[in-house]
Structure 1
Amino acid sequence: MPLSPQARLRGGLFGLLIGDALGVPYEFHSAVSISTVSRIEMAPPPDFERTHDGVPPGTWSDDGAQTLALLDALARDRELDLEMFAGNLQDWFHRGAFTPDGKVFDVGLQTQRALQQLASGVAPAVAGPVDERDNGNGSLMRCLPVIMVTTSHEEIIRLACKQSLVTHGHARSQLCCALYCLTAVGILENMSAADAVRAAEDELLTRYAGTAEEAELKVALDGRFDAPQGSGYVVDSFWSAIHCLLSTRSYEDCVKRAITLGNDTDTTAAVAGGLAGIVYGEEALPARWLATLRGKEIVERLLAKL
């Protein structure tokens, strides 16, 4: 039976959160060190030196918290009030909002800089650093909720780019967010994952032909020719997630593959897991991981606002 849009969207959101939580203990480890792990689970084997020791299994990190911060802002204003969204991010960073237990344990350096800018009074639309080296994956990892409130591809592109501005202002970061959201909505519209990626590429190439953004878009698209590394660079992060999605045939295999790439494991698994959740639907999420995921009541409250 074809999956309903609700099953796909819930699968995408919970798939992102599960992927994030699953990747937390393995963050910053090399692919080689993770390849020796016989069992990738929410709680790694006892002999594995887990990252963020002391964080309970099933806890999402900054990826999940910022995703929920964006979801809340979009639920309250579908045009996305950037002041409101920036306030949500500040509430997360300073007070642990949108976390399972009020604790913040993982924050990207570029996001920290943007939050400092916001705290000093800089407007949210220009708070995100804009240098070429400021192309981390911090806005890509959270942008999935855009497709939960939009009714057209035009809106998707606009809001995907808009939400990025607060922490990642460079055009390359914005375009990767648009590429991700268009891919996600293509799957939601019952395209295969591979066709959805190609359609997203074609749509953005047509839209930005002859503009200043065209060169940055081509840089982003050229990333598909590089070997996946699971790094924090936004272009690699997107294509590493796509590699995991297209080279596997289940949600579980997809996010495990993301983690075996090493490096930014929680984000790669979150980005890949969001798409895989849309492909396979909520019922395909492993029951043991969903049961271990903390803070599910927070997610349900936010979903009820939509």
Structure 2
Amino acid sequence: MGLNLEQIPRVKTLSKADFIKYYLKPQKPVVIEQLTEDWPAYEKWNLEYIRKMAGDQTVPLYDDRPVRHDEGFNQAHAEMKMTDYIDLLLEKPTNFRIFLYNILKEVPALQKDFKFPDIGLKLIKGLPMMFFGGTDSKVFMHFDIDFTNILHFHFHGKKRCIILPPDQSKYLYRVPHSLISREDIDFTNPDFDKWPALKQAQGYVCELNHGEMLYMPEGYWHYMHYLTPGFSISLRSYPRKIKNLGKALYNLLIMRHYDNFMRRRKGQEWIDYKNEQAIVRTHKKLGIKV
């Protein structure tokens, strides 16, 4: 038995008015299948094209190792030339991913390949971020520090996305003073004996194919599983809800700095304490005895 997940609604196209009415205002996810069909990227973007355009770029790589006290916020685990990384993706499964990489800043020519869609969101023009992953690589369950609305476009292959609304946080073993759940939870096949609170969680799932876009409302948790090698680009818009804007400012101005301070002061003891508290607080809040 897996998580209680509902398929995300899918539409081929969607008017700006309907997107605002049915998805943006009520903060509900949707997959739009043909939003990119007038982008040059729809025909051009695959791994070989990225190699041609950005093969000489040195890129930061991340794997699925647990957070450590001596690593900074979003600190890369390795680096490699993009052409070598693409060779690795095409050759065999790998845990190495590229995460939050503004390749469009590094390779401006790629900016001509996509458009900022007029869909009712005021998109942040300076923050188009790209993500790459190999077969069976997974991105742990997390939410974004800035509570942005996210348009997540996928290219080259297939990716499974599990997302949950912010009100499901209480079931997800959120690690205190962070943006993540326990990293040892496999959300593709959760162990309910070990993580009983997950049985109460209700979320959404979809499989994104080449050119499709997933709208993730502000503050949504997300867990990404690359079923094949591929890459995605996220366009973002500031939170519309004042409450979420306040949370974003708290995360950026207070929580992140406090967490870094405690890492420096207490080291691995701080990381271990937070991971333990993720279980203690979740079970206490829900009245679960194990």
TM-score of the pair, normalised by structure 1: 0.25
Relative to its length, the structure with more helix (as a share) is 1
Higher RCO, Cα 8 Å, sep 6+: 1
